[in-house]
Chains A and B, each alone.
Chain A
Amino acid sequence: MDPLAKDLAALVGPASVLAEPDYLMTYECDSLSFYKQRPSAVVLPENTDQVSRVVAYLARKGIPFTARGSGTGLSGGATPVEGGVVISLSRMDGILEVRPEDRVALVQAGVVNTALSKALEPLGLHFAPDPASQPVCTLGGNVGENAGGPHCFKWGLTVNHVLGLTLVLPDGKVLRLGGPCGEPDLDLTGLVVASEGTLGIVTEIWVRLTPNPETFRTLLASFPSLEDCSRAVSEIVGAGIVPAAMEILDRKAIEIVEASVNRAGYPKEAGAVLLVELDGRPEEMDRPQRKVEEACRNQGAIQVEFAKSPEHRMKLWKGRKGVYGTAGRLAPDVYVMDGVVPRNKLAEALHRIQAVTDSYGLVCPNIAHAGDGNVHPTICYDGRDPEQAGKAEMAGREILQICLELGGTITGEHGVGLEKLALMPEMFPPGSLAVMRRVKAVFDPAALANPGKLIPLEEN
């Protein structure tokens, strides 16, 4: 065993340290396989105290570290740093406290998103953010990235559901930020959410719980084109309706879903489909449902159908949530983009995105959390072919530049990670990046917590 692994084993026990190359390979990237770096070691601590001891040791040695949940991130945020250690929170999967009447719970960072909602099911509560990776991804990862999901149009992002955190600072000190009643003074909890593990390691989270909706109305509308579909979204928003979710899938996305095990019954001849879900009490469904249906018909929907049963609803959703996995059938690698545009620019954005991927000859199913203006073009390519990989990367960059031109952002929920570092200076003026660097230095003066992610550390 090398000296580093030996030291780490002395802190957390040998069963919680991985140093064999075969094991380390699993940790060399997250779900964005563009970037790979084998870590020096992986530690799997079981509690905050162990995290603190490991981090304090690494700080003394000047060794950088990267926190990791399930590795489902899509921006390279959990890609290890050269010579660094990965601290995996996956064994910290305890639900420590649930207060159903106060609608809060305290969980460890390694709790899987769906596992929490499943545990809360008997209480009629759930954790609202629902990223597509929710059966696998951890709440710590959700905090690190400020994860969203289809239902955050109505219910908000992770940051809207986090009240407090236990944070291990990069020198090993343990902080309790906020708590079951939120942040009393300065909102440092909110600053740590979405910081991609660059300000320390979040080990415990106070989350807000949301009552399960009594009923759902799920509608599938098909349109001749993406533009018609996008206009229907604008009309729904303009009519003052706030569905729980509004998802667009373009023709290519429909095609791959319908050819897969996640077949959802999306009409194959459509240029795009819109999946709209209303949730709530039975009495609050009728008018919004009518308005949604009206908007779809006004914008030229070919067909409008409602889910006839809970099973039908699940099927419609399974198709949507399975797009990324299914895209893997088209090419060995997929590159999922995550731009956001103002909602009234959605049609223009989708049109221009399609033109970009067409110009590179890339297959790219388009899906979007339309209610939020959050577009997820999914570029399919073969990473073994450097030319294709280069095209994928260039197309991705152009897509995000379109989002910026339209007044949007380069990432809505997947994070900057390594992937979008180069675009940060285009998104923010130098003054903003300088403030971010000052913030980083306050939490992590030695730059050991996941360095090189989220913000370019050096000024150009």
Chain B
Amino acid sequence: MIGRLEELLGPDAVETPSPGSPWANLDGFEPQAVVHPAGEEELAALLRKATESAWPLAPSGRGHALGRGPALKAVKIVVALDRMTEIPYEEPEDLVISAQAGVPVEEIRRRAEAHGLRLALEPPFGEKATAGGMAALGRSGSSRARDGRVRDQVLGVRAVLSDGSIFTAGGRVVKNVAGYDLVRPLVGSRGALAVLTEVTYKLRPRPPADKTWILEGPGALDDALELGLSLRTLGLEPAALGLWGSPSAVTLGIRLSGEEADVTARRNKLPCGIPGRSARWRELEETGLKPFEEAPWEALEEGREILVRFALPPTALAGFLPALPQEAVFFADLAEGRGEAAVPHQVYRALRERAAASGGFCVVEGGPPTRRSPGAALARPEGPERDLALALKKALDPAGILSPGRLD
């Protein structure tokens, strides 16, 4: 296989994954090769070959977040898109940028900022995130209340199917209803429907004021949760409203963005704190709710937990979060009713049932691959909705070589 890959892409584009690299072990399997196609045509040729030869593969940006979602089944090749780093279209006046899949998200941010704009997505990935990976994973960050979902920020994509055919979906303008909106199912499909090669993102103006306050010392979950949920009804329209930590030691944070006078006016509406406690609001030097990025992962790296992802009607968090076990580490977006928690796997079933009872869901997002079977990692692992998703996968990837396990 290695020889044939080298023939196809050139020897310098094929490597065997070195121990310790993020590609050395994918959900318990050791891929035989990591390939770095230089462009869309090479990628298309590779996919044609892989379909022909039944080589299962997983696309990746720079090796980040591969341990998320339903576990991969045997993968022979990692297709790293880190050489596809062009910005083919950049129109700050039109608030649009198109980036090849391997462009670091940081690069898009830098370019946007140079024009007084911002990429309205803040997924908690740090410097490893890529334009393609962010769309493929479809994971929004703590600013979802203000910025919406990833799929709301993607205007169009270029992509390659497993049979090597190249296609576009959507476009580069903010309104477009020509044909099926293929962007929607592709965003968040975790590389299982097609390999994204280029993503067009919306940009937004940077607000004149963007500030974050955290409530220091609120202590236990109940009081802080009650206060946090009550903030939803005050007309504050936060850019982010988060509660994080562990049930015995939580922090509440709120981010307000907009016109300077407006942010100040809303800040002044914040209740002083929790009656009977010495908690008080402190403005952060750097805006944004960073713990979203750190807390659950730290616990996970200790290797004894699973990471669950949940979404409930926000008011139902009042019943859900107190049900987290004492050893849990979590981040909850109180504005949107979503979050993640590192918990012992034994409590997962109960959390899943509790979320479903209020019309939401709770799925295993991270942890050992054996815990991330479709039954646990998908909210609807069976039923006609699932059948339809599987049929779509089969129609776009009949050989089933793209990220096997993520959807099927």
CB within 8 Å of B: which residues of A? 99, 101-102, 104, 145-146, 148, 152, 156-157, 159-160, 169, 173-177, 179-191, 193-195, 199, 211, 214, 234, 237-238, 240-242, 280-281, 283-288, 340-345, 369, 372-374, 407-416, 420, 424, 427-429, 431-436, 438-443, 454-455
Contacts and interface: CB of A to CB of B under 8 A. Distances in A.
Contacts of A411: 176-178
Contacts of A407: 172-173
Interface string B205-216: 110100000000
B94 interface: yes
Nearest to B313: A102
Contact of A281 (B96, B152, B265): B265
Contacts of B315: 99, 101-102
A454 B316 CA distance: 40
Contacts of B91: 342, 344
Nearest to A439: B180
| Size bracket, chain B contacts | 35 or more
Contacts of A234: 93
Among the interface residues A145, A175, A193, A435, which one has the most CB atoms of the partner chain B within 10 A? A435
A408 B204 contact: no
Given A102-B337, A181-B360, A343-B94, 14 more contacts: A102-B314, A152-B175, A156-B152, A174-B384, A281-B266, A283-B262, A343-B93, A412-B175, A413-B175, A416-B177, A431-B167, A432-B169, A439-B182, A455-B180
Contacts of B45: none
Contacts, number: 236
A440 B180 CA distance: 9
Nearest to B182: A435
A377 B259 CA distance: 35
B94 A342 contact: yes
B389 interface: yes
A215 to B, nearest CB: 11
B281 to A, nearest CB: 19
Nearest to B169: A432
Given A102-B315, A181-B311, A284-B259, A454 B181 contact: no
Contacts of A427: 178-179
A160 B176 contact: no
A454 B93 CA distance: 31
Contact of B171 (A211, A286, A409, A435): A409
Given A145-B177, A240-B205, A414-B177, A188 B262 contact: no
A227 B86 CA distance: 34
12 contacts: A101-B232, A101-B233, A156-B152, A188-B392, A191-B181, A284-B262, A413-B177, A416-B178, A429-B166, A439-B180, A439-B395, A442-B395
Interface in B220-261: 232-233, 235, 237, 258-259, 261
A420 B178 contact: yes
Interface string B306-342: 0000011111100000000000000000000110000
